[in-house]
Structure 1
């Protein structure tokens, strides 16, 4: 009896965490699609008013308009051959993030995207690219 109870409890917890990860991942679907299409314009629709962009550790904060131009330049030089998020998570405060693999024409990058709540919707606050060796 105890064994069945613990098995059922484990199953319920597993489903609970699976649904939470799926819900976090859904917020990133349009972001993933914009990156795959190398569309800085579509991606900018999801930018917070201020966005931190990082390329190999060189971090700078930009307005959403400036960030769109920086991403346009990056996509022009490194158009994606493939891209997908491989991990979704969230902080204790509910800040969602995703880690992805970006294969560009000039190399592979690990990519980190963090969102924050802005006026009731989730917006991108950070994008970081780290070139893989």
Structure 2
């Protein structure tokens, strides 16, 4: 049981690390086949590839300078929820994502990027 919990923490940290480094190719490996995504004022359900392209464009315009964990819910065996504060060269954003347990693998099913006012 302990090793599976360690693995879950690694997934959360690995995704945060991908966001910090704007590595959308690696980030997309954690996406489910479709992702409900909200990016500022645009929202929709996208394929893994579409979601990666949208985020690559976002990070191309907003280079990350720092990421801080704001909230982490990882006690439920079926899902995880994470909120990060993302500082970029232009602005600060709140990034949140939900991971759902799919055949003992946590995959990102929801991903949101919102402006912090």
TM surpasses 0.5: yes
Report which of the two has the higher share of helix: 1
1:118 shift after superposition: 2.2
- Structure with the greater alpha carbon radius of gyration: 1
1:91 shift after superposition: 7.9
Question: 1:54-102: per-residue Cα shift (whole Å, max 9, x none)?
Answer: 1235321100011110111011011101012221115867311001100
2:84 equivalent among 83, 100, 103: 100
1:79 equivalent among 63, 69, 79: 63
Q: Within the alignment, does 1:40 sit opposite 2:36 as a pair?
A: no
Structure 2: runs of 5+ lacking an equivalent: none
Pairs aligned (count): 113
**RMSD after superposition:** 2.1
Q: Who is 1:124 aligned against? A: 108
In 2 relative to 1, CA 88–24 (structure 1 residues): closer, same or farther, beyond 3 Å? farther
Distance 1:97 1:24 in 2: 11
SS at the partner of 2:26? helix
- TM-score, normalisation: structure 1: 0.75
Q: Within the alignment, does 1:29 sit opposite 2:13 as a pair?
A: yes
Distance 2:69 2:91 in 1: 17
Report which of the two has the higher share of strand: 2
Distance 2:116 2:53 in 1: 24
